Chains A and B, each alone.
Chain A
Amino acid sequence: MARMTMIQALRSAMDVMLERDPNVVIFGEDVGYFGGVFRCTEGLQAKYGASRVFDAPISEGGLVGVAVGMGAYGLRPIVEVQFADYFYPASDQIVSEAARLRYRSAGDFTAPVTIRMPCGGGIYGGQTHSQSPEALFTHVCGIRTVMPSTPYDAKGLLIAAVECDDPVIFLEPKRLYNGPFDGHADRPVVPWSKHPASEVPEGHYTVPLESAAVLRAGRDVTVLAYGTMVFVAEAAVLECGVDAEIVDLRSLWPLDLAAIVESVKKTRRCVVVHEATRTSGFGAELVALVQEHCFYHLEAPIERVTGWDTPYPHALEWAYFPGPQRVAAALRRVMED
């Protein structure tokens, strides 16, 4: 065991996979010599050589297209898109190609590609360094969408993603890279070393895909969250005194439906929390699933606490970010019904 930040845990996952599987290659903008703008690939090129870990032209469509071709050959590429906000030029390769390759060729060709993307706000990133585009991926059949919230999960989920034969969109909340964040921007940030989930095995292990984790057990209401929002929800629960159960989805789609249904049937109330904008966000799918599977157990309407339906602002960061006060207010509202 070692203490790792999320950055170190992600790097460790890639180190482990480069070592174990000669077909694993890593490339993206600035990931080679420089080690990535977030240091996630630091030292890997020096250790494994430039034919395994290398810099790429600034072309997201090119990065993913090349990865699909490598996957068809038999490699297992890990591609980094520098910010989730910049995946859009690769949309065609992700949606039309990576996601459909196995299906349209009846298994003749596959795309075992992992696409890492730092996502999320709370860092004064403004419009194009803060987005949470997960709903644009969860809607695409044939890909998996994953988002860790701790160093332990980050490493285990990334190894599982790389070993998975399906294409995986691996979203990394950059707000959590150096330490957990509960939405209180006015308080000093605590580093990961003070958090138990920074205990990370140095070797190989996996956190299975399609498995949620109960971050906090509770009786009164289920909070469905992922990424930064699990810590925000935790803070909100402590502050409002509602005995909420917090479920960290970890795999967004396909997801762990059984864990969600089990929790909501127990608590009979549900609040969905995400940073992404509200309308047609992933929360809408979660609300629909809970409604379909837990209707007769529900004692209150399902609430959603999300980013507003606006582009991510700069100056109004904390009015936009769904912080603990907004989550706590929703928890109190569902308990009043």
Chain B
Amino acid sequence: MSNSPREPLRLHVPEPSGRPGQHTDFSYLHLFPAGAARRPPIDVAPADTADLSYALVRVLDDEGRAVGPWAPSADTALLRRGLAAMLRTRAFDAKMLTAQRQKKISFYMQCLGEEAIATAHALALEPGDMCFPTYRQQGLLLARDDIRKAELMCQLMSNERDPMKGRQLPVMYSYKRAGFFTISGNLATQFIQAVGWAMASAIKGDTKIASGWIGDGATAEADFHTALTFAHVYRAPVILNVVNNQWAISTFQAIAGGEATTFAARGVGCGIASLRVDGNDFLAVLAASRWAAERARSNLGPTLIEWVTYRAGAHSTSDDPSRYRPADDWEHFPLGDPIERLKRHLIALGAWSDDEHERTRKALEAEVAAAQKEAEAHGTLLDGHIPPLESMFDDVYAAMPSHLRDQLRQAREAEAARRAGKEG
């Protein structure tokens, strides 16, 4: 035993390099040029993806060219569809942000800057597959033609046509028919449920796969770890998506455990094939999602993908990011804007133009505005056209038990008295 004096121990509390009024040093991201990451066969052993979990799969270079082994075979029609899906998502978000400021809806969450991940991923899945999203994967729905925007807005407005009957906070959608699992306010819970759904598909000898979603901050929740363990143990046909947008409300990703490591590396540690992918590169998202889907569908087991992106907007309409990070941070984020990058690629291919871009953007904005008008015709929070009182007591159980029937009667009496009091 040494008697020499020691330095006192110090608690390490990670800090982002950029606070308001400063500039973020993005060198912590460990970026690699487009085309540099290798593309292994889909039956790769999980341990052999260790290098890829610290690398970065990128397809689009700075000139908008698709380079390297991950460049997907995607015709321009599909890419044009993808670009439109991203533009639609952004237009929808912008419109709903305004609607919240006008008090037509109580709350909203944008996915500004993260549009490529959900929209390209949606194109890699097949009908019948099930996504277990967080509240920031609206692109999974907005990439589809069979979910009407007015229907989504009715949920946001909790009006008479709200498919969730006014029970849920705005953005907590549920669309079984679109493979979109009911969103919960409790973080990470869906990640392990996705694994269970995938296990069920395997138990029944089905060919459907599940896709679970989680943010960087929520990886610290216990359900993240249980999901990885169960997915590995039972070789579940699931894609485990970690959207690393660098921020969990005000908390930099280093506080979630991202300092000097990656979230993809967690997957390898649990025996899961893992990729770290440029989340703002539509082509890389499409290629990696297809790779993981093919792997799952071929009984080769789960894949974890860390999507590296940046939360360009506020966390929610209740948040002001200028209080904890530089106001111009997104402009300096090295992976840019997913829409601009795909636009540049398509223009370089001669399959798009600035003019077409503007026309499409305006047409989608008009489409969103028309959907809002249609949704508002069924009521908003402002005018009190909300679902009926019974909807509060229905669906707690499969059939309403006697104590809830009794409470519904009491609620009707109380509501009648409340309305009489208002009028009198």
- Say which residue of B175, B196, B403 sits within 8 Å of A68 (CB atoms): B196
Query: B226 in the interface, Cβ–Cβ < 8 Å?
Result: yes
Q: Nearest-CB distance from B390 to chain A (Å)?
A: 12
Query: B200 in the interface, Cβ–Cβ < 8 Å?
Result: yes
Q: Nearest-CB distance from B229 to chain A (Å)?
A: 5
- Report yes or no: B402 in contact with A73, Cβ–Cβ below 8 A: no
- Report yes or no: A103 in contact with B197, Cβ–Cβ below 8 A: no
- Say which residue of A65, A100, A102 sits within 8 Å of B223 (CB atoms): A65
Q: Which chain A residues lie closer than 8 Å to B167 at the CB level?
A: 103-104, 106
Take A65-B193, A69-B210, A254-B403 as given contacts and tell me if A108 and B182 are in contact as well, using a CB distance cutoff of 8 Å.
yes
List CB contacts (< 8 Å) of B183-240 with chain A. 184-186, 189, 192-204, 210, 222-223, 226-227, 229-230, 233
**Of B40-48, B103-111, B392-400, the one with at least 4 CB within 8 A of chain A:** B392-400
- Report yes or no: B189 in contact with A72, Cβ–Cβ below 8 A: no
Specify the chain B residue showing the minimal Cβ separation from A144. B397
Specify the chain B residue showing the minimal Cβ separation from A210. B401
- Say which residue of B172, B398, B402 sits within 8 Å of A104 (CB atoms): B172
Inter-chain residue pair count (beta carbon < 8 A): 138
A59–B165 alpha-carbon span in the complex (Å):
34
Q: Which chain B residues lie closer than 8 Å to A104 at the CB level?
A: 164, 167-168, 172, 174, 182, 184
Q: A91-108: contact bitstring with B at CB < 8 Å (1 yes, 0 no)? A: 011001100111111111
A96–B189 alpha-carbon span in the complex (Å):
9
- Report yes or no: B200 in contact with A101, Cβ–Cβ below 8 A: no
- Report yes or no: B175 in contact with A108, Cβ–Cβ below 8 A: yes
Indicate the size class of the contact surface on chain A: 35 or more
Q: Nearest-CB distance from A209 to chain B (Å)?
A: 10
Q: B355-382: contact bitstring with A at CB < 8 Å (1 yes, 0 no)? A: 0000000000000000000000000000
Query: A164 in the interface, Cβ–Cβ < 8 Å?
Result: yes
Query: A241 in the interface, Cβ–Cβ < 8 Å?
Result: no
Q: A55-80: contact bitstring with B at CB < 8 Å (1 yes, 0 no)? A: 01101011001111111111100000
Q: Which chain A residues lie closer than 8 Å to B395 at the CB level?
A: 102-103, 106-107
Query: A329 in the interface, Cβ–Cβ < 8 Å?
Result: no
Specify the chain A residue showing the minimal Cβ separation from B172. A104
A101–B186 alpha-carbon span in the complex (Å):
12
A45–B119 alpha-carbon span in the complex (Å):
42
Query: A25 in the interface, Cβ–Cβ < 8 Å?
Result: yes
A89–B222 alpha-carbon span in the complex (Å):
9
Q: Which chain A residues lie closer than 8 Å to B199 at the CB level?
A: 66, 69-70
Q: Which chain A residues lie closer than 8 Å to B194 at the CB level?
A: 69
A103–B181 alpha-carbon span in the complex (Å):
13
Take A69-B194, A73-B201 as given contacts and tell me if A97 and B229 are in contact as well, using a CB distance cutoff of 8 Å.
no
Q: Nearest-CB distance from A67 to chain B (Å)?
A: 6
- Report yes or no: A97 in contact with B197, Cβ–Cβ below 8 A: no
A273–B185 alpha-carbon span in the complex (Å):
37
Q: A159-175: contact bitstring with B at CB < 8 Å (1 yes, 0 no)? A: 00000111000000000
Take A65-B193, A166-B397 as given contacts and tell me if A257 and B165 are in contact as well, using a CB distance cutoff of 8 Å.
no
Indicate the size class of the contact surface on chain B: 35 or more
Q: Nearest-CB distance from A136 to chain B (Å)?
A: 17
- Report yes or no: B197 in contact with A106, Cβ–Cβ below 8 A: no
Q: Nearest-CB distance from A314 to chain B (Å)?
A: 29
- Say which residue of A25, A74, A103, A108 sits within 8 Å of B396 (CB atoms): A103
Q: Which chain A residues lie closer than 8 Å to B163 at the CB level?
A: 106, 108
- Report yes or no: A92 in contact with B189, Cβ–Cβ below 8 A: yes
Q: Which chain B residues lie closer than 8 Å to A70 at the CB level?
A: 196-197, 199-200, 203
Query: B308 in the interface, Cβ–Cβ < 8 Å?
Result: no
Query: B130 in the interface, Cβ–Cβ < 8 Å?
Result: yes
Query: A141 in the interface, Cβ–Cβ < 8 Å?
Result: yes
Query: B418 in the interface, Cβ–Cβ < 8 Å?
Result: no
Q: Which chain A residues lie closer than 8 Å to B182 at the CB level?
A: 101, 104-105, 108-109
Q: Which chain B residues lie closer than 8 Å to A65 at the CB level?
A: 189, 192-193, 195-196, 223, 226-227
Q: Which chain B residues lie closer than 8 Å to A75 at the CB level?
A: 200, 203-204
A65–B182 alpha-carbon span in the complex (Å):
14
Q: Which chain A residues lie closer than 8 Å to B230 at the CB level?
A: 56-57, 59, 62, 66
Query: B291 in the interface, Cβ–Cβ < 8 Å?
Result: no
| Chain B residues with a Cβ under 8 A of chain A | 130, 132, 163-165, 167-168, 172, 174-176, 181-182, 184-186, 189, 192-204, 210, 222-223, 226-227, 229-230, 233, 395-398, 401-403
Closest 3 CB pairs of A and B: A69-B196, A65-B192, A62-B226
| Chain A residues with a Cβ under 8 A of chain B | 25, 51-52, 56-57, 59, 61-62, 65-75, 89, 92-93, 96-97, 100-110, 141-142, 144, 164-166, 210, 254, 257
- Besides the known contacts A51-B202, A66-B195, A142-B396, 17 further A-B residue pairs in the complex with CB atoms under 8 A apart: A57-B226, A59-B230, A62-B192, A62-B230, A66-B192, A69-B194, A69-B195, A69-B198, A70-B203, A74-B200, A75-B203, A93-B189, A96-B185, A96-B186, A106-B395, A141-B396, A166-B397
Q: List 13 A-B contacts (CB under 8 A).
A: A65-B195, A65-B227, A73-B197, A96-B185, A96-B186, A97-B193, A102-B395, A103-B396, A105-B174, A106-B164, A106-B167, A108-B182, A165-B398
